[in-house]
A and B are shown apart, each in its own frame.
Chain A
């Protein structure tokens, strides 16, 4: 239809998958409302209409659903923070600005099951008494805007959106809103700035969006996958949903397997799935029988783990936190023993340097300096004392910025320098390292062009 590519899901599903969010993906014409209604669509919303707002929020709290965008904040709490008695209008905002490197899951939900997102928004709207909802989609996902616009139009025609929905007196309108290429707009407060037609720079917090969000009004802002999970919680009950996962993290998660794998892809797995099986069973193992070297659990913002640290590790928020990293967005990157970690550190930093919005100086300047230093290491021009300096510089960015982009740039860098120190050392000898100039102040020149013409 609007998509130009072959199916994005594995067919048939992997036997270890727990099919819930992805249950309609493999149906023919899955994005249409007819398919949706024929397979249980909007049933949870009808059920939610008979529940009170408090009951819906209580179920979501019981479900242990945690935000699927990266931060993992409990969704029930977030809903509870919205002041329902506020005289201001309340808003639903969906973060569909998926752009964390390694993450490609929201695309599937919007492409194959757009109505489940609308249903999740409707249930949330019912719970916080919102009348309008916006889906903020990154500009590159143009075809998804078309798919969602068509889904919204169908929902209006069938009476699931608009005035007096299903005769209950509930009003709700949903709109898509296109971004235009800015990773920073995936950060909730920058997204709200962007939604208001400004540059996407973060706001100071608190107040959090639940109190002061879109158009300065109370807002529930969550990731696509989070909203898509809500109908299942209402349908099966919070307890049953929680039982799918582990303690303090309920349900299933779309996990994007990327990097050096025989069968990369997006798989729906319960929270708490063992990393070893993730790589060797679901992901089909590493090509050429090579060994695992490094592992990123949830997008490039997470500290990198070594193969040893992955032993006995499971994919859930708390287990990851114990190993000093994060579950993040579920964008798994697997790196085999042939990987050049200095190059990886450089590429990650180049990304953050490009995407830093420039609002906070530690991030704007820090990412630029780090990129320049890593570039020199990659070219074999690094100097020994600078290895420690990279880590030091990155540590100075932590916690010193409005949003988490500064931390997101620093954390993987610190972890790579600490855990793969020897690779930086080896790079020193790649070319005969020049003796440090005895000058008073080291001058960092702009790096030579990358590729052609950069």
Chain B
């Protein structure tokens, strides 16, 4: 990854490195910040400032299946908000909360680029389009049992 950037520009790798590492570790730990800083040749604080800026980077682990429901305009018009409320009721979780067993977490997200197939959600990196309340229940049940099949890792 570091070799993709021009000489002396290894700082560029900070954000991609953080997000790919986070996918393996689960969250951005202090050790991870140190390691990324070392590899990219920057100060830890320069890594830290990215961690707090980018909304996909997080310091606390989320659920094994992170269910991200879009309620932005196109989804809102097609029932995204109802899906979000339903998911909250079904799981007893709120925005960015994780279930006790660590299997599921919820997040109300901004536009995920699935506007023509609204309402949409993402389970980790998998897109679910034209989600009906019944389909949402299925997705959540599969996530809780741990048998949701991820294809877009």
Contacts and interface: CB of A to CB of B under 8 A. Distances in A.
B99 interface: no
A199 B50 contact: yes
A142 B153 contact: yes
Interface in A132-165: 132, 134, 138-143, 146
B73 A300 contact: yes
B113 A103 contact: yes
A420 to B, nearest CB: 15
A80 interface: no
Contacts of A103: 111, 113, 115
B15 A194 contact: yes
Contacts of B71: 347
Interface residues of A, number: 68
B106 to A, nearest CB: 8
A235 to B, nearest CB: 28
B32 to A, nearest CB: 14
Contacts of A343: 76
Contact of A351 (B49, B53, B72, B88): B72
B12 A347 contact: no
Contact of A107 (B12, B72, B74, B113): B113
B34 interface: no
B77 interface: yes
Interface in B30-49: 40, 42, 46, 49
B23 to A, nearest CB: 8
Contact of A104 (B16, B19, B113, B152): B113
A421 interface: no
Interface in A333-361: 333, 335, 339, 343-344, 347-348, 351, 354-355, 357
B110 A453 contact: no
A347 B109 CA distance: 12
Contact of A179 (B54, B110, B122, B152): B54
Given A197-B13, A265-B116, A453-B93, A333 B74 contact: yes
A100 B110 CA distance: 10
Given A5-B129, A181-B55, A451 B11 contact: no
A304 to B, nearest CB: 10
Given A256-B115, A453-B88, A453-B94, A196 B9 contact: yes
Interface string B125-140: 1111100000000000
Given A260-B77, A296-B73, A344-B76, 8 more contacts: A138-B113, A178-B20, A199-B49, A260-B78, A300-B73, A335-B77, A452-B94, A453-B97
A200 B46 CA distance: 13
A139 B21 CA distance: 13
A171 to B, nearest CB: 14
A114 B96 CA distance: 34
Interface of B: 4, 6, 9, 11-16, 18-20, 40, 42, 46, 49-50, 53-57, 71-74, 76-78, 81, 84-85, 88-89, 93-95, 97, 108, 110-118, 122, 125-129, 150-153
A5 B85 contact: no
A355 B40 contact: no
A333 B111 CA distance: 13
A317 B75 CA distance: 26
A102 B125 contact: no
A154 B49 CA distance: 36
Contacts of A177: 4, 12, 16
B114 A104 contact: yes
Contact of B110 (A2, A8, A134, A183): A183
Given A3-B151, A183-B110, A178 B117 contact: no
B40 A197 contact: yes
Interface string A7-49: 0100000000000000000000000000000000000000000
Contacts of A388: none
